[in-house]
Amino acid sequence: MGGRRWTNEELALLDELATQVPNANIARRLGRSQHSVRVMLSRRGVTAYPSGSENMTMHQVEMLTGISHRTLKKKWKQKGFHFQKRGIFLMVTQRELLAYMRKHPEDWNATRITDDTLFRRFDWYKQKKAADLGKAGPRTRAWSQAEINTLKIRYMQGRPMKEISAELGRSESGVKNKLFAMRKNGYKL
């Protein structure tokens, strides 16, 4: 066998991205050929859509945009977002997704896009991203160690989220997200 060996980090990223983005994007991010990516996906038994496919599953759209499938199927559908059922999957074309996002910029936040390879060539996306980054301002400030300590103490005391968020000057969802991230990183609450 030729070529360089796959590292554990590369394999983890491959598994994570396989159902979210086309093989060509994975290959670029890993600095590998598309053939190499396809072969490794096959060896690992990971199913991914072909890189030439313009179709995306609703799950892929959800992972890419950070928007829940409920919002996609209800609110976006009411505004004209079209998807089709193919087998067990709800599918949408990239063209349809791009057209909807361009027409309805109020329905999504560019800072939540996990991989902007599909979008970054468009000026409307660049403008939206700049605007959303400008809006984020103080809400995206890093957590200080003092805030984290206060959060731990108040949470262990059983205080309501509303009270904790008011004391810290953060949104309730921001507090919940921080608690979730702490649990995910091994902190026992």
Q: For 144-176, what is each residue's pLDDT tens digit?
A: 888 888 999 999 899 998 999 889 888 888 888
Spatial CB neighbours of 104, under 8 Å, sequence gap ≥ 6: 76, 79
The winner for highest mean pLDDT among 106-110, 117-121, 136-140 is 106-110
Q: What is the mean pLDDT of the chain?
A: 84
Domain hosting residue 22, numbered range: 8-44
Q: Is residue 189 part of a domain?
A: no
> What percent of the chain shows pLDDT beyond 90?
21
Q: Is residue 14 part of a domain?
A: yes
Task: Name the one residue in this structure whose structure tokens are 């936040």.
Answer: 109
Q: Are 131 and 150 in the same domain? A: no
Q: Are 63 and 123 in the same domain? A: yes
CATH number at residue 177: 1.10.10
Q: Which residue has the higher pLDDT, 49 or 187?
A: 187
Q: Are 20 and 69 in the same domain? A: no
Burial class (CB in 10 A: 0-12, 13-18, 19+), 142: exposed
Q: What average pLDDT does this structure show over 35-53?
A: 73
Q: Are 63 and 98 in the same domain? A: yes
Q: Is residue 96 part of a domain?
A: yes
Task: Using the predicted structure, report yes or no on whether residue 21 has a pLDDT greater than 70.
Answer: yes
pLDDT attached to residue 125: 92
Q: Are 121 and 85 in the same domain? A: yes
How far apart are the C-alpha atoms of 12 and 84, rounded to whole Å? 31
**Taking a C-beta distance cutoff of 8 angstroms, is the pair 151, 175 a contact?**
yes
Tally of structural domains, the chain:
3
